[in-house]
Amino acid sequence: MWPTEWPSAAREIADATDVAVAAARTAEPEPFAEASARLAALDQEQVTVVHASIVRELLEELHPDGLTGDDVQAVLERCARSAASWVTDLDVSVLVVVLTGALGLTDPDEDPRPLARADLPRYATLVIADLLAAADAPGSGYIRRAIGEVARAQTVEMP
């Protein structure tokens, strides 16, 4: 499904993200937990960059005239409501970290509350699933573009 020219790490991030998002969209706890564990075992910096890129692109598409604080609040509320029915340990504050981090408003590394290694990718896929549902779109194109953007950024040499 993913381009063979991608490094194996990129394909693993894409695959685990795709599975986690699909499980979140259908509220399936076991596949979601398994895919989240796979994501937690990968390079967290790379996973975070890919997920933040997907969240930003979806927010930009859903709010082409600009994103307001009320828009972010609506995303947060909608995502929390839908996840609360099946994510038994839901922590809304981590959803906030995902959204504000993707927008460049906060740095998860500077959060005074220590986040478990698995928290950010797990919660990011919840946000991505919610935004994909709102956009009525499949996730594969967003995943491809995010990984492609990361790859391009990594191959550009600094002068």
Q: Convert the pLDDT of each residue in 99-111 to its tens digit.
A: 999 998 876 666 6
- Residue scoring higher pLDDT (33 or 113): 33
Is residue 159 situated within a structural domain? no
Helix (H) or strand (E) holding 17: helix 8-25
Quick check: is 3 in a domain? no
Task: Supply the pTM of this predicted model.
Answer: 0.90
Is 2 domain-assigned?
Answer: no
Quick check: 151 and 6 in contact, CB under 8 A? Answer: yes
Nearest alpha-carbon partner for 53 in 131, 111, 116? 131
Residue 93 lies in a domain: yes
Q: What is the mean pLDDT of residues 126-152?
A: 93
Q: Identify the three-state secondary structure at position 137.
A: coil
Is the pLDDT at 62 greater than 90? The verdict is yes
Q: Which two tokens stand for residue 19?
A: 């599975």
Q: Which domain holds residue 80?
A: 8-154
Mean pLDDT for the stretch of residues 140-146: 96
Q: Residue 47: its pLDDT value, please?
A: 95
Whether 114 shows a pLDDT value over 90: the answer reads: no
C-alpha–C-alpha distance, residues 157 and 138, integer Å: 33
Average the pLDDT over 17-46 and give the result: 95
Structural domain tally of the chain? 1
**CB-CB contact of 14 with 147 (8 Å):** yes
Q: Is the pLDDT of residue 158 over 50?
A: no
> Which amino acid belongs to residue 114?
P
